[in-house]
């Protein structure tokens, strides 16, 4: 993965999640708007709780995933299993350092957030 992390965790989250949206072929204007909304909300959240900077990338990924589920269905779909109709999930669940996309069915880490 050649994505550079920024000093600003919100910008890092933008770069990582946008990469994953692009690599899965769904980075259209509507989806990027979903990302921008999540970034704005987490930017405010981070202002209220600066100690949460390690949580921002994973939380933004989850926010986008939740919003897309309501709009267009599961994202991202698992690429590790033959049955690619199930979604990957962010681990650790409520954010934390080094979030990754995991397949809960196979019990494996598929890629770090930003590495799809």
Q: Which residue has the higher pLDDT, 32 or 84?
A: 32
Q: What is the pLDDT of residue 97?
A: 87
The range of the structural domain enclosing residue 16 comes to 9-112
Q: What is the pLDDT of residue 85?
A: 86
Q: What is the pLDDT of residue 33?
A: 97
Pairwise CA distance, residues 94 & 99, whole Å: 10
Residue 61 lies in a domain: yes
Average pLDDT of the residues in 64-79: 94
Residue 15 lies in a domain: yes
- Two tokens, residue 75: 């994202």
Phi-psi region of 73 (alpha: psi -120 to 50; beta: other; left: phi over 0): left
Residue 1 lies in a domain: no
Average pLDDT of the residues in 69-81: 93
Pairwise CA distance, residues 70 & 73, whole Å: 6
Enter the DSSP assignment of 39.
H
Count of residues for the chain? Answer: 116
CA nearest neighbour of 47 among 9, 4, 94, 16: 9
Residue 3 lies in a domain: no
Indicate whether 5 pLDDT > 90: no
Q: What is the pLDDT of residue 6?
A: 60
Enter the DSSP assignment of 100.
E
Residue 2 lies in a domain: no
CA nearest neighbour of 65 among 46, 87, 41, 81: 87
Total count of domains within the chain: 1
Indicate whether 2 pLDDT > 80: no
- Two tokens, residue 3: 């994505």
| β partners of residue 108 | 103
Residue 16 lies in a domain: yes
Residue 26 lies in a domain: yes
Q: What is the pLDDT of residue 62?
A: 96
Residue 13 lies in a domain: yes
């Amino acid at each position: 993965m050649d994505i550079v992390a920024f000093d600003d965790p919100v910008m890092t989250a933008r770069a990582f999640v946008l990469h994953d949206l692009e690599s899965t072929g769904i980075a259209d204007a509507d989806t990027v708007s979903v990302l921008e909304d999540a970034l704005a909300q987490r930017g405010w959240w981070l202002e209220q709780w600066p100690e949460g900077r390690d949580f921002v990338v994973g939380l933004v990924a989850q926010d986008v995933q939740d919003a897309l589920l309501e709009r267009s269905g599961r994202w991202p779909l698992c690429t590790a299993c033959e049955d690619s109709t199930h979604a990957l999930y962010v681990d650790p669940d409520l954010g934390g350092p080094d979030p990754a996309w995991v397949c809960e069915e196979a019990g494996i880490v598929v890629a770090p957030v930003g590495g799809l």
